Amino acid sequence: MWAQAQVLTVQSPNKKIKVQLFNRQQTKSGEWYLSTAYLAEKKETTAIPEIDLGLVRSDQDFSKALKLVKIGQAKLINETYSVLHGKKLACQNAANEVKVTLENATKAKINIIIRAYNDGLTFRYEFPETKGSFQVTDELTSYTIPRETKRWMEKWNPANEGLYTAMSADKVQKQEWGYPALFQTGDASCWYLLHEADLNETYCGTKLSNVKDSTHYKLTFPNQGDGRGQGSSIPTITLPWKSPWRVIIMGGLQDIVASTLVDDVSAPSVVKNTDWIKPGVVSWNYWSSNHGTRDFKTVKAFADLAVEMNWSYTLLDWEWDTMTNGGNVEDAAKYILSKGIKPLIWYNSGGNHTWVSATPKDRMLTHENRVAEFTKLKKMGFVGVKIDFFESEKQDMIRYYLDILKDAADYQMMVYFHGCLVPRGWSRTYPHLMTYEAVRGAEWYNNVPEFTMTAPEHNTILPFTRNVVGPMDYTPVTFTNSQYPHSTSYGHELALSVLFESGLQHMADRPEGYLTLPDTVKAFLKTVPNAWNETRLVDGYPGKTVTMARRKGAAWYVAGINAENKESAQKVQLSFLQTGITYRCTLIADGDHDKAFQTASRIVNNADVLPVKMLRRGGFVAVFTPNQ
């Protein structure tokens, strides 16, 4: 019998996060698992008691009878990098790393690379041999989550557009679940978010399944039926090979919201010249008129809206290839450019993987198609593409996503993926990937009546889940109604412009929705940034309320929303402001009713508290600029 079951401990640089490697048989050979712990206020919480490890390859098993061969020397990862858009522009990839080498009965080796960060931990598998091509028939990574742990999870769907379900104890459902998934430990001191990062064409996307055991969330491969059954759900690898990182963002809710861990562990940018990549706000006609781009005059009206609101872009959505009523796509591009703004344009991802027949369908499907289309778009003055309906996370679809990004970089085209997977860190590698949908956003006011009442709660969950892991195009800030009405206040809608981060922020309302706003509100929307220097959670709890502060230069933008069916009186602590400086605060809050605003101005410093009243399902924004 081996003396100790635990054979390795890796701690974060700040000593708050600990990950340990155990042998289940308490010997040097057998099955292996990780255990994670979090230290808060001198109290250690076991966050995830067991994370099963192992892979099954088509030629042999790497999960049972694994013998410990070597524990490598601890290594400090310490890298700084900058990005062009996101929650924080100056980032740091800093961790303690240890590589463990195991071998199976045939002496074939597998490495487990473990990192502990101040805001979480990551691990990945590595096959170090240099020859061979195999299928990975199963990944046995599985997270054991105690029943008392609270969780917010989205039922798996290929477009990642579901609602989050809050569960614990006997309410935990057995299901397949999408990323990211949020958990709060039973003693309430530790939160963590499960995800994956640095996925590339050497593997497929995975999801979480507790179908067999409600307390065990096993990584599972895509369903064979996804993408109309096209492609294999089993990935094929060529050695040497590394898996994507398995990512656990951990700490308090403030740590979760501020984390850039998904990008930190992903491959650095491969785009040398990035001068052409410009985050910005976009006018978008689909929400208010599903066939808006078919009408040249509607396209002109939304271009004029972007000019009036000082936004950088307007998007031509589907049906641009059948545009009538005074002009076609070439005329539209000329008109938009003549106004001093830039056009973006929609495409169907095409191929047999989608049921959607909307045209143009296949112009992004092959390298040759993309080269021809990007060449034409460049000549017309388009600067970005929105590509829709991927419907699968199989390995061939991951390759398709990345092939699009590589070709788009060659033609200096910004990219927006719609009807797609959730972010896996690609915006760091390909900074012209500006945003993804992969969220139940405002478009769902077009789809179902239930979003009228579920949106307020949903909106307060997204800052702690989906938007943590990368840009999210919710298409926010809609004051008028689409097919189905809002139950949120105008203040709530305005706050979404700050709460939700997206490298291209598509403002979805019709022109009159913005142009009839009070001057102070219009002025705010004309200047609100969408790429940030710093992000901090001020207060909040998923499904209840959230208040967030984001810094752009020396100015701070604060936004808060209330999901509940009762008024909320907030006292916003301003400790995020710089010490020794006074700021002019402009507050735009709910007025007497849900379509009214109340504006106030005052001088504050970081010792002050800002009182704010929110209506039921209400919200507010505040801008703090240094007082000169």
pLDDT digit string (tens) for 17-36? Answer: 999 999 999 888 999 999 99
Q: Which CATH superfamily is domain 280-528 in?
A: Aldolase class I (3.20.20.70)
> What pLDDT shows up at residue 468?
98
Q: What would the pLDDT profile of 166-181 be if each residue is shown by its tens digit?
A: 999 999 999 999 999 9
Give the torsion sign (CA, 607, 612, 618, 624): negative
Alpha helical stretches, state H, 446-579: 451-461, 490-499, 511-515, 519-527
Please, what is the angle between helix 367-380 and helix 395-410, to 10°? Answer: 40
Residue 553 DSSP label: T
Please list, in sequence order, all residues whose beta carbon lies within 8 angstroms of the beta carbon of residue 502, skipping any fewer than 6 positions away: 434, 435, 471, 472, 473, 474, 530
Q: How far apart are CA 164 and CA 193, in angstroms?
A: 13
The alpha helices in 309-366, defined as continuous H runs, are 329-338
User: What is the token pair recorded at 525?
Assistant: 């929307």
Q: Is the pLDDT of residue 456 over 70?
A: yes
pLDDT digits (tens, 9 = 90+) for 532-556: 999 999 999 999 999 999 999 999 9
Per-residue pLDDT at 1: 30
Using DSSP, state whether 134 is helix, strand or coil.
strand
Q: How confident is the model over 558-603, as pLDDT tens digits?
A: 999 999 999 999 999 999 999 999 999 999 999 999 999 999 999 9
Residue 354 near residue 383 (C-beta atoms within 8 A)? no
CB atoms within 10 A of CB 75: 13
Query: pLDDT tens digits for 374-390?
Result: 999 999 999 999 999 99
Nearest to 502 by CA among 455, 562, 444, 441: 441
Alpha-carbon torsion (467, 471, 475, 479), positive or negative: positive
Mean pLDDT of 73-80: 97
Give the sign of the dihedral formed by CA 254, CA 255, CA 257, CA 260: positive
523: β partners: none
Query: Angle at which helices 490-499 and 451-461 pack, to 10 degrees?
Result: 40
Q: How far, in Å, CA of 146 to CA of 144, rounded?
A: 7
Please report the pLDDT score of residue 5 as a whole number. 65
Q: Which CATH class is domain 6-264?
A: mainly beta
The mean per-residue pLDDT over the stretch 473-492 comes to: 97
Strand 216-220 and strand 504-507: pairing? Answer: unpaired
| pTM of the predicted model over 0.95 | yes
C-alpha to C-alpha distances, 349 to 106, 318, 352, 360, 372, nearest whole angstrom: 44, 12, 10, 9, 15
**Residue ranges of the domains in the chain?**
6-264, 280-528, 540-626
> CA 96 to CA 466: how far, in whole Å?
27
Q: Is 545 left (phi over 0), alpha (psi -120 to 50) or beta?
A: beta
Which among 422, 419, 328, 412 is positioned nearest to 378, based on CA atoms? 412
Write out the H or E segment, with its range, that includes residue 299. helix 296-308
Q: What is the DSSP string of 178-226?
A: PSPEEEE-TTSS-EEEEEEE---TTS---EEE-SS-TTEEEEEPPPTTG
Residue 494, strand partner residues: none
Check whether domain 540-626 has CATH 2.60.40.1180, yes or no: yes
Q: What average pLDDT does the structure give for the chain?
A: 97
Q: What is the pLDDT of residue 2?
A: 36
